[in-house]
Amino acid sequence: MRPYLQHPLTRLWLVLLLATVLSWWLGSDKPVASHQAGVLTAVSILVVAIIKCRLVIRNYMEVRFAPSWLQWTCDAWLLLNFAMVSSFYWFAI
Amino acid sequence: MHGLEAPVMGGATSRRLPGDVNIWVFVIGDMLIFSAYFAAYLFADRVGNHELFLQSQQYLSQNLGFCNTLILLTSSLFVALGVHAARLGDFAVASRFLELAGACGVVFLFVKAYEWYSKLVGGLTISTNAFFMHYYVMTGVHVVHVLIGLTFLIVLWRELRGAPTPRMELVEAGGIYWHMVDFLWFLIFALLYLMR
């Protein structure tokens, strides 16, 4: 088991774990200085989530070794979600 | 991320499709369906009644959502290591990793059940308001995906334990599905629990 626990996949898990702690901290109830500051915090949480998704897709799902059409499709989906969600936060209210 | 080497197949490293094309058609379709659902949720929130959504969001436990994120994250690691071990021909270790991943999936379901129960006894049901309608439907659809993923893991476990030469395409496809369940939760956690 030990070689597996020292595998780069395990180190990536640690990075994902720390990123989750960061987004949890960003999302915890804190006084917000202004509406814009609140939107900025929300978009920061979104960015962390998108980065985590991309790390899982490229490394755990091994898309980084896949044909380029699949890499582009996955990145396009991530970009679509980022653009859609952040637009709602920036422009809807 | 440096240091994550290419999967080794027969001693050669090459650009290849993990799993098979069918699992990717299914996974990408599912990803798009979830995106449409995120859009519906955001429309109801930001264009509909943001104050109601903000107030309702206060009733969700960020800590339970955080715990479930760590649980799924860990299950994904076990699945990734299981696929890696299977590729090396270490099928006993691979099946053990799948057992650990499955255990994490079951714990996720228990935490989710507790979370739903605590809301329901507090009178917060699917018909309470638009936010809780989205909350129960989105997390419910995700739970269905977890259940399908657990079934997939059992199929893989049997393949690794029983087949003389386990089919790597099947093992990879199961892993891909499970990771999708994991990363879709990242976005659900961010949208429902964290982003105000």
Q: What angle do CA B183, B184, B188 make, to 5 degrees?
A: 120
pLDDT category of residue B46 using cuts at 50, 70 and 90: confident
pLDDT of res. B1: 44
Please indicate whether, in this complex, the C-beta atoms of B35 and A26 are within 8 angstroms of each other.
Answer: no
DSSP secondary structure of A21-83: HHHHHHHS----S-HHHHHHHHHHHHHHHHHHHHHIIIIIS-GGGS-HHHHHHHHHHHHHHHH
**The complex's ipTM?**
0.94
pLDDT of res. B152: 96
Chain B CB contacts of A61 below 8 Å: 18, 175-176, 179-180
* Residues A69-92: tens digit of each pLDDT: 999 999 999 999 999 999 999 887
Between residues B20 and B5, the one the model is more confident about? B20
Q: Which residue has the tokens 């629990």?
A: B193
pLDDT of res. A91: 84
* Residues B128-156: tens digit of each pLDDT: 999 999 999 999 999 999 999 999 999 99
Q: Where are the beta strands (DSSP E) in chain B?
A: none
Chain B CB contacts of A16 below 8 Å: 73
pLDDT category of residue B161 using cuts at 50, 70 and 90: very high
Please indicate whether, in this complex, the C-beta atoms of B195 and A60 are within 8 angstroms of each other.
Answer: no
Residue to mutate among A30, A54, A62, A77, with most B CBs inside 10 A, is: A62
Q: Give B138 to chain A, closest Cα distance, Å.
A: 16
Residues B190 and A45: beta-carbon distance below 8 Å: yes
Between residues A62 and A32, the one the model is more confident about? A62
Q: Give A51 to chain B, closest Cα distance, Å.
A: 10
- Buried b vs exposed e over B112-138: b needs ≥16 C-beta within 10 Å? beebbeebeeeebeeebbebbebbbeb
pLDDT of res. B181: 98
Please indicate whether, in this complex, the C-beta atoms of B1 and A56 are within 8 angstroms of each other.
Answer: no
Chain B CB contacts of A65 below 8 Å: 6-7, 13, 15-16, 18
Q: What is the mean pLDDT of chain A?
A: 91
Which among A8, A58, A67 has the least Cβ separation from residue B17? Answer: A67
